[in-house]
Amino acid sequence: MKIGVVRETAHGERRVALVPDALGKLIAAGLEVLVETGAGLGALIPDSAFADAGGRVVSAEVLYAESDLVVRVQKPSPEEAARLRSGQAVMGLLQPLLDPGLMATLAAQGVTAISLDAIPRMLSRAQSMDALSSQANVGGYKAVLQAANAFGRYFPLLTTAAGTAKPANVLVLGIGVAGLQAIGTARRLGAVVRAYDVRPETREQAQSLGAQFVTLKTQIDATGSGGYARELTGEERASQQAELNEVIGAMDIVITTAQVPGRKPPVLVTREAVAKMRPGSVIVDMAASALGGNCEASRAGETIVTDNLVTVLAPENLPASMPIGSSAFYARNLSSLLLHLVKDGALNLDPSDDIANPVVITLAGEIRSESVRKLLTPPAAVAAGA
């Protein structure tokens, strides 16, 4: 079986799906690894490093023609999807819930789509395959570094001959993987850190890293499934927002991390909250995307300064800004999943397997994911019971 590692083409993407260190186990399992020329350059990995690790460096034309499975980080562009052939498979962060149309296209072409977005995160034996968590870890770390770089003062308490600098007050909104890493990084930089989440069970996690957990009088338990928070109702959001605005207004740094898979991120930092913040304060909206973000003032991919001199950063792909580390993590996740799915040198996509079943989005010309099928079903058909 031949595995093809493509060069990413998405804007700003510097990661690569496999790194040389990951090739050994794959080759030992009887797999042949083809690497597109220049695939690792964004992560500062030369073609020679892949060749030395046992990979075969080839052109894109050869890779698509010979590979049984194409592995990547980002979902393929329409042009890249068109190069995939029937019977071929593609594996990566395919975003099936955000782009169900692409899944329908791949199914129509007879391409098997395997998405690391769909790894069951609460399943202990799948943790080594959890790319969303590994990349969120990188994102949480980089978000704090970006905030520190944009902040015009120190993070730690400093006493000098010229006077004392107070520590920065940092608020992390959303205590998932990214939020926990943001808490830990901000604490290591010496900031006073507070954290908030609509899931009460995250209190101990935040406190274990040295953060103060913010408890609102209007606190709502929004624990959802799969380790995520559920989306709040309009009434629930309104009841807590005014109180949360006051907390935000007292902060120097606010880092937001809250996302709902396949849906628009919840607004946690309103324009009213931004208006309450002091000049020189910084917001990093980790959830910013084409769908929106956690901060009403953010614009995806841009850094803006508001009328009251608050800097709002909305980076779209923080893991790609640390490509060496994030590629190494991602490669371990992908190779762990790949080795789990390969039996006797071929993909074995057993629907009874609790890891294989959710990650296989399309197979044999059909969309296997029920969630994706629902997104593609016209509302009229749903109402009619189709």
Catalytic residue list contains 336: no
Token digits for 206?
Answer: 């935040």
Q: Of 109, 127, 212, 219, which residue is the catalytic one?
A: 127
Whether 379 shows a pLDDT value over 80: the answer reads no
Q: Please name the amino acid found at residue 181.
A: Q
Q: Tell me the percentage of the chain whose pLDDT exceeds 70.
A: 93
Q: Which residue has the tokens 């190069």?
A: 83
Whole-number pLDDT of residue 384:
45
Whole-number pLDDT of residue 261:
74
- 95-128 confidence digits (pLDDT tens): 999 999 999 999 999 999 999 999 998 888 999 9
Whole-number pLDDT of residue 222:
57
Whole-number pLDDT of residue 25:
94
Per-residue confidence band for 386, with pLDDT thresholds at 50, 70 and 90 = very low
Q: Of 56, 121, 188, 373, which residue is the catalytic one?
A: 121
More confident residue, 238 or 210: 210
Mean pLDDT, residues 228-240 taken together: 67
Catalytic residue list contains 64: no
Catalytic residue list contains 285: no
Neighbours of 149 (CB within 10 A): 9
- 266-323 confidence digits (pLDDT tens): 999 999 999 999 999 999 999 998 789 999 999 999 999 999 999 999 999 999 999 9
Q: Tell me the percentage of the chain whose pLDDT exceeds 90.
A: 85
Which segment of 156-160, 237-241, 256-260, 280-284 scores lowest on mean pLDDT?
237-241
Q: Of 7, 72, 88, 130, which residue is the catalytic one?
A: 130
- 156-207 confidence digits (pLDDT tens): 999 999 999 999 999 999 999 999 999 999 999 999 999 999 888 999 999 9
Whole-number pLDDT of residue 382:
44
- 329-355 confidence digits (pLDDT tens): 999 999 999 999 999 889 999 999 999
Tell me, what DSSP letter sits at residue 372? H
Whether 385 shows a pLDDT value over 70: the answer reads no
Which runs of consecutive H residues, i.e. helices, occur in the chain? 20-28, 47-52, 60-66, 78-83, 100-109, 131-150, 177-188, 203-208, 234-249, 271-276, 323-341, 356-359, 370-376, 379-383
- The Cβ-side half-sphere exposure at 179, using a 13 Å CA radius, reads 28
Mean pLDDT, residues 69-77 taken together: 98
Catalytic residue list contains 221: no
Q: Of 83, 109, 128, 228, which residue is the catalytic one?
A: 228
Q: Of 88, 115, 133, 205, which residue is the catalytic one?
A: 133
Catalytic residue list contains 130: yes
Whether 229 shows a pLDDT value over 70: the answer reads no
Domains and CATH numbers, the chain: 2-129+322-383 (3.40.50.720), 138-316 (3.40.50.720)
Mean pLDDT, residues 221-239 taken together: 63
Query: Which residues sit opposite 163 in a β-bridge?
Result: 160
Whole-number pLDDT of residue 231:
64
Whole-number pLDDT of residue 226:
58
pTM of this prediction? Answer: 0.91
Whether 237 shows a pLDDT value over 90: the answer reads no
Per-residue confidence band for 54, with pLDDT thresholds at 50, 70 and 90 = very high
Mean pLDDT, residues 56-64 taken together: 98
Whole-number pLDDT of residue 223:
62
Q: What is the mean pLDDT of the chain?
A: 93
Q: Output the CA torsion sign for 196, 202, 208, 213.
A: positive
β-pairing verdict for 360-363 and 112-115: antiparallel
